[in-house]
Structure 1
Amino acid sequence: MKKRVLVVDDSAFMRKLISDFISASEEMEVVGIARNGEDALVKIKNLSPDVITLDVEMPKMNGIEALKKIMSECPVPVVMLSSTTKEGAEETIKAVQYGAVDFIAKPSGTISLDLHKIQEEIVRKVYTASLVPITKLLGQPSPTVVSPNRKVNHEEIDESALECKTARPMQDIQKPGLIMIGTSTGGPRALQHVLTNLPSSLDAPVAIVQHMPPGFTKSLADRLNSLAVITVKEAEHGELLEKGTAYIAPGGFHMRIMNEESNLMVHLTKEEPPRNGHRPSVDVLFESASTLGSCKKVAVVMTGMGSDGTEGLMKLKETGNVTAIAESHETCIVYGMPKSVIAAKLADEVVNVEGIGQSIMKYMG
């Protein structure tokens, strides 16, 4: 049975283009269109769509206001469409935090005459969103830790690891430790869970690859920085990593972590092609860390489509001194990237998203 889609946009031109793209798919059909948020709420209740495309910038009731009402009154998976303006990026990041499954950046503004450039992305993301159980968007289960080989009671985790402590150097390791996180669809909310559970005394930097187009990662970093006690920022080329700071790879750039004497340094490049369709790529980040020698590492792979991170984690495992944590199926919005890591037998622990911060501290502490 085809997935039922409601297209919401104040532009008749955009509604027509998006509807045509979706209707051309064998897996989906457009069951209705809406001109604004108020219209969308009525149509959702009458048509019961499986998924909605929702424009961020609309009159009467904008996309953010509409999304809040949708998630509270008639929850359904939503994919946001947004311009890449600073305001558009900020609103889009809010939308993902409020329950949107994913977002699509319009290539040239509110009314994009060249929307056909991202036709494949629209179809793929809308269909993927239609498969997400609404329960995963409304709430998450309690933290539980599950090993690929044995079950672990979360009481076994040292909860004192989350308490603030005086920062101290890691014994027997000259270089600082390094925490790496890779994620895609559903990642912004997963990152919020993890980063807000890391203490200000965190004795290592955090390097993050979140699949996002250029123009959105700065807004994501700013929002997460306002919520976490550690510092969160968009990474800059050539900067030295500091303990207690999380660095998010800018959209459109691969990020590597390099040795700079006794320090770790960010290296950004956009000349290289995307890896498996992604730039930044989790594989590129993980592979770069495999050259850091005795540096103690924790690698985390969370919700997202595809298998980005698996090849890089293989390289990391070859060099030893790395612990791999995969997000569990129970809390993943899209169980792709962690599933690939687990299938390759690379995960040391499989953890619900709320418990990942705790697990990181167990291994780094």
Structure 2
Amino acid sequence: MPYSVLVVDDSHFFQMRLKDIINEHKDLNVVGVATNGQEAIDMTAKLKPDVISMDYEMPFLDGISAVKAIMAEIPTPIIMFSSMTYEGAKITLDALDAGAVDFMNKNFAEVSSNSAIFKKKFHEKLIVFAQRGYKKSPSRSSSFITAPRTPPLVDTSTRSIVRNDSKRLKGKIKLIAIGASTGGPVAVADIVTGLKGKVSIPILIIQHMPENFTRAFAERLDRSTPLTVKEAENGDMLKKGHVLVAPGGKQLMVDRSGNSIKIVAGDNRVNYKPCVDITFASAAIAYGSAVLGIVLTGMGSDGCEGARLLKDKGSTIWSQDEDSCVVYGMPAAVAKSNISSCILPLKDIAQKIVDSV
């Protein structure tokens, strides 16, 4: 039986195109179309869809208000459609804060041209989140709401493994590098706020996000922590107590000196911009055994090869456990390859960093 989808958009064009695109997949079926936020709330209660596609700018009631109401009344996985502007990025982060699980770029050209890439990505997201449904899990202190989790995207039987390596790591770690994708904004915010300014080691965040989104994300994180957080720029120095967020659409590399970072254009041959593997690999060259690499929730396996290079140099790798992940793909790949020394619940990662480094 196909998963049921509710489409929410005030544009007749997008309503029809999204409905047609969704129904092309044998495992998906549009059961309703809402034209504003209030209709979305009413139709969610009536139809109980497996997943919702939600616009954010609509008459009567906007998408974020609708997300908040749906999460309060009948929690359902919601994928937001958002513009790629800076303002669109801020609104999208508000939607994730309200409980949305992920977002898609609302691009007229892609939708109208029947882009195969767009359709594949959209279908994949809808199915992944519909499979599991919405399960709210506890978060530490972040204002973000922890999103639902999905079954592993790779075959793995790993469970949480917490090793008492705090003494071994004290004084050794000179850089912390954190990679994440789907569900990452929530997870990263949980960790950064949970550190409470107690870590004086440079931190790099490699979060799969488009251009503009990483700037808004960095600014949002900066307001939530005593640490200094900013979107990374070419030549930025790696400073104690500073967090640099890799810019969307580009690659962040640690300079061989280990003192600064380089921002380079994203190569079209690389699927992710920014790419966790690229940053981890450059950190391995610059810092050798002095890196703590952490792989968080996300689709795919980005970070696995970079984590392997770090481990080969003697660095330490942790990964998020299955139960606290939105999508257990990236950390599962690392765990299955026996690269992780610790497999941790999200709620424990910040405190373990403080205890260890």
Is the TM value for this pair above 0.5?
yes
What is the one-letter code of the residue matched to 1:221?
A
Q: How far is 1:351 from its partner?
A: 0.7
1:303 to 2:301 alignment: no
Q: Which deviations, in whole Å up to 9, do the C-alpha atoms of 1:141-186 show, x marking residues without a partner?
A: 789xxxx799559xx798xxxxxxxxxxx85x7xx81000000111
2:138 to 133, 137, 140: 140
Do 1:107 and 1:115's aligned partners in 2 also have CA atoms closer than 8 Å? no
1:264 to 259, 273, 279: 259
Of stretches 224-233 and 338-347 in structure 1, the one that deviates more from structure 2 is 224-233
1:7 to 2:7 alignment: yes
1:348 to 2:341 alignment: yes
> 2:47 maps to what in 1?
47
> 1:317 maps to what in 2?
311
Q: How far is 1:242 from its partner?
A: 1.1
> 1:162 maps to what in 2?
none
Give the length in aligned residue pairs: 337
Structure 1: segments with no counterpart, 5+ residues: 159-169
**Separation in structure 2 between the aligned mates of residue 36 and residue 223 of structure 1, nearest angstrom:** 28
Do 2:51 and 2:133's aligned partners in 1 also have CA atoms closer than 8 Å? no
**Separation in structure 2 between the aligned mates of residue 299 and residue 359 of structure 1, nearest angstrom:** 13
**Separation in structure 2 between the aligned mates of residue 92 and residue 152 of structure 1, nearest angstrom:** 34
What is the one-letter code of the residue matched to 1:94?
D
Q: How far is 1:41 from its partner?
A: 0.9
Q: How far is 1:120 from its partner?
A: 2.0
**Separation in structure 1 between the aligned mates of residue 165 and residue 298 of structure 2, nearest angstrom:** 26
1:56-205 paired onto structure 2 within 5 Å: 56-107=56-107, 113-114=112-113, 116=115, 118-135=118-135, 138-140=136-138, 152=162, 177-205=174-202
1:218 to 2:215 alignment: yes
1:328 to 2:336 alignment: no
Structure 2: segments with no counterpart, 5+ residues: 142-157
Taking only aligned residues, the RMSD between alpha carbons, in angstroms, comes to 2.4
**Separation in structure 1 between the aligned mates of residue 85 and residue 287 of structure 2, nearest angstrom:** 41
1:282 to 2:276 alignment: yes
**Separation in structure 1 between the aligned mates of residue 133 and residue 74 of structure 2, nearest angstrom:** 14
* Structure 1 pair 108–249 and aligned structure 2 pair: CA distance change class (3 A): farther
Q: How far is 1:210 from its partner?
A: 0.6
> 2:151 maps to what in 1?
none
What is the one-letter code of the residue matched to 2:41?
L
**Separation in structure 2 between the aligned mates of residue 73 and residue 150 of structure 1, nearest angstrom:** 32
* Structure 1 pair 234–313 and aligned structure 2 pair: CA distance change class (3 A): same
**Separation in structure 2 between the aligned mates of residue 338 and residue 217 of structure 1, nearest angstrom:** 21
Do 2:161 and 2:342's aligned partners in 1 also have CA atoms closer than 8 Å? no
**Separation in structure 2 between the aligned mates of residue 87 and residue 239 of structure 1, nearest angstrom:** 25
